[in-house]
């Protein structure tokens, strides 16, 4: 796997946050800003970095409360608008003014907020299995596991627990792939146990929000017009329906490509052949128009 350097920045409210920085070439390409899902972290993009780093710079932050980033003092700051402010500070520190956003699930919601507030930053965008309308079945499933602590004696046991919970999402995975996912989602704690690598309190805003309707994000789709945009949907996704994905394409217009990744649910991990080929097409559009 391509090497990376560890970087740190300070959030507006004083948290020390971490990112991985994979070096790219020196031909002026915009970096890829890789924004992970709710319970994920910078390691989630290892498969993408293994393939693209060297040609492309990848900036992969751990959002607050995840992995090597500090935990928030106020659990109610674990919300997309705060993450957007954190990312804005990171981009300012790195003097990055234009980039390709690679947003998985929650990271895609942050990408939509970037499009709504700083469209000029986006050289391209990937929304990975997320959209303005989220299916209640998927949200209900997420609520069942977010913030529920787990502890395992070995990496194999952690991998087996992942398999049991996510067999429907990745039905073709074998032990090697479950182990690789476990290494991205869990960490070894000081007691020698394998535990999930995020602050369990990230679930608190979800519980408070309950069934309340959020902000209507459909008008944001217009902000992606004219920007090379890739919409990825897992064929088995319970969070992003095909109807929603098709409507997203219509709302964005000719600049959007929709690719359904066969045989996976929420979310594609970007190493699937169909996803990898689609990412390559997106990046070619960013470079050549």
Give the pLDDT confidence score for residue 211 in this predicted structure.
45
Pick 269 or 143 by higher pLDDT: 269
- Please give the domain boundaries of the chain with CATH numbers for all domains: 5-145+212-288 (3.40.50.1820)
- Asked if the model's pLDDT at residue 28 lies above 50, the reply is yes
How confident is the model at residue 1, as a pLDDT?
Answer: 45
More confident residue, 195 or 208: 195
pLDDT tens digits, residue range 204-247? Answer: 998 775 544 567 899 999 999 999 999 999 999 999 999 999 99
Tens digit of each residue's pLDDT (9 = 90 or more) over 163-194: 999 999 999 999 999 999 999 999 999 999 99
Output the CA torsion 117→24→275→36 (10° steps): -50
The tokens for 19 are 């990112």
Residue 278 has pLDDT above 80, yes or no: yes
DSSP letter (8 states) at residue 58: E
Q: Give the pLDDT confidence score for residue 140 in this predicted structure.
A: 87
Query: CA of 266: how far to CAs of 12, 24, 55, 106, 284, in Å?
Result: 31, 29, 28, 12, 26
pLDDT in tens, 117-146: 999 999 999 999 999 999 999 988 888 888
11 Cβ contact partners less than 8 Å away, ≥ 6 residues apart: 17, 64, 85, 86, 89
Please say if the pLDDT value at position 27 is more than 90. no
pLDDT tens digit string along 53-109? 999 999 999 999 999 999 999 999 999 999 999 999 999 999 999 999 999 999 999
pTM (2 decimals)?
0.96
pLDDT recorded at residue 244 = 97
Q: What is the pLDDT of residue 209?
A: 56
């Amino acid at each position: 796997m391509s090497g990376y350097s560890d970087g740190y920045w300070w959030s507006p409210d004083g948290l020390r946050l971490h990112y991985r920085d994979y070096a790219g070439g020196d031909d002026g390409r915009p970096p890829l800003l890789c924004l992970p899902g709710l319970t994920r972290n910078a390691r989630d993009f290892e498969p993408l970095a293994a393939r693209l780093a060297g040609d492309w710079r990848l900036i992969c932050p751990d959002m607050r409360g995840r992995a090597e980033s500090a935990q928030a003092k106020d659990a109610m700051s674990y919300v997309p608008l705060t993450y957007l402010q954190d990312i804005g500070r990171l981009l300012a520190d790195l003097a990055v003014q234009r980039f390709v956003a690679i947003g998985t699930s929650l990271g895609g919601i942050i990408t939509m907020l970037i499009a709504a507030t700083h469209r000029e930053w986006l050289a391209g965008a990937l929304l990975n299995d997320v959209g303005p309308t989220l299916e209640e079945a998927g949200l209900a499933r997420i609520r069942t596991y977010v913030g529920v602590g787990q502890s395992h004696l070995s990496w194999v046991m952690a991998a087996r627990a992942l398999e049991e919970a996510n067999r429907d999402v990745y039905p073709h995975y074998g032990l090697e792939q479950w182990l690789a996912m476990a290494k991205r989602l869990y960490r070894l704690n000081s007691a020698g146990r394998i535990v999930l690598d995020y602050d369990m309190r990230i679930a608190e805003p979800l519980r408070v929000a309950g069934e309340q309707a959020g902000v209507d994000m459909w008008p944001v789709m217009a902000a992606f017009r004219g920007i090379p945009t890739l919409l990825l949907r897992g064929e088995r996704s319970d969070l992003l329906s095909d109807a929603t994905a098709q409507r997203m394409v219509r709302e964005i217009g000719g600049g959007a490509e929709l690719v359904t990744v066969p045989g996976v649910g929420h979310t594609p991990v970007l190493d699937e052949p169909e996803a990898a080929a689609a990412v390559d097409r997106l990046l070619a559009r960013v470079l050549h128009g």
